[in-house]
């Protein structure tokens, strides 16, 4: 609710529960958005938030084991179930340090750290990624929001 209020104070309109069907160039500038239920609006900027899912079709076709989330299962070295193949980022499961099990956490900070570990190990290193507690931060205009640990539904 806080984020919605901050966005609204700055003239940003949030439209939830609508499937975007078309985005066209507006006249003389901007965009015209059409969506489900007859929704139409003009905007200077359009941001479509769809969530994140691991795109692992190629990995699965190559025989790389996936976890329950559909993301690639990796070791702390970021190595997949096929020796010599490493993976990192939004396509892998991350060791959740609170839950003590793999979880899907598509976060930029986590992906960055995993990528460094995977890259170093791919060229002979012996580095480990200890996992994540799911810390997230975002700044929306003057409002800074952060979370770490588990939400009630995740516990």
Same domain, 39 and 59: no
Q: Which helix (H) or strand (E) holds 2?
A: helix 2-9
Are 57 and 38 within one domain?
A: no
What pLDDT, on a 0 to 100 scale, did the predictor assign at position 51? 87
- How many domains, the chain? 2
38-61, pLDDT tens digit by residue?
999 999 999 988 889 999 999 999
Contact call for residues 95 and 117 (beta carbons, < 8 A): no
Nearest to 155 by CA among 103, 90, 109, 114: 103
| 22 and 67 within one domain | no
pLDDT tens string 49-105: 888 999 999 999 999 999 999 999 999 999 999 999 999 999 999 999 999 999 999
Range of the domain at 29: 2-43
Are residues 68 and 137 both part of a single domain? yes
Q: Are residues 128 and 92 part of one domain?
A: yes
pLDDT digits (tens, 9 = 90+) for 12-48: 999 988 999 999 998 888 999 999 999 999 999 999 8
User: What are the backbone angles phi and psi of residue 13, rounded to the nearest 5°?
Assistant: -105, 130
At residue 78, the pLDDT reads 99
CA distance readout (Å), 131 to 3, 93, 152: 28, 10, 20
Do 83 and 121 lie in one domain? The reply is yes
Task: Looking at the structure, tell me whether residues 33 and 65 fall in a common domain.
Answer: no
- pLDDT tens, position by position, 114-145: 999 999 999 999 999 999 999 999 999 999 99
């Amino acid at each position: 609710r806080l984020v919605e209020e901050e966005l609204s104070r700055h003239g940003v309109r949030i439209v939830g529960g609508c499937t975007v069907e078309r985005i066209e160039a507006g006249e003389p500038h901007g965009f015209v958005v059409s969506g489900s239920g007859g929704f139409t609006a003009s905007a200077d900027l359009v941001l479509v938030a769809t969530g994140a899912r691991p795109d692992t079709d190629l990995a699965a076709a190559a025989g790389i084991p996936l976890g329950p989330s559909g993301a690639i299962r990796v070791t702390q070295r970021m190595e997949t179930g096929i020796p010599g193949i490493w993976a990192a980022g939004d396509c892998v499961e991350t060791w959740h340090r609170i839950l003590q099990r793999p979880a899907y956490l598509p976060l930029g900070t986590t992906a960055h750290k995993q990528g460094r570990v995977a890259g170093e190990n791919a060229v002979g290193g012996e580095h480990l990624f200890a996992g994540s507690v799911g810390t997230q931060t975002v700044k929306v205009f003057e409002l800074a929001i952060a979370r770490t640990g588990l939400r009630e539904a995740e516990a």
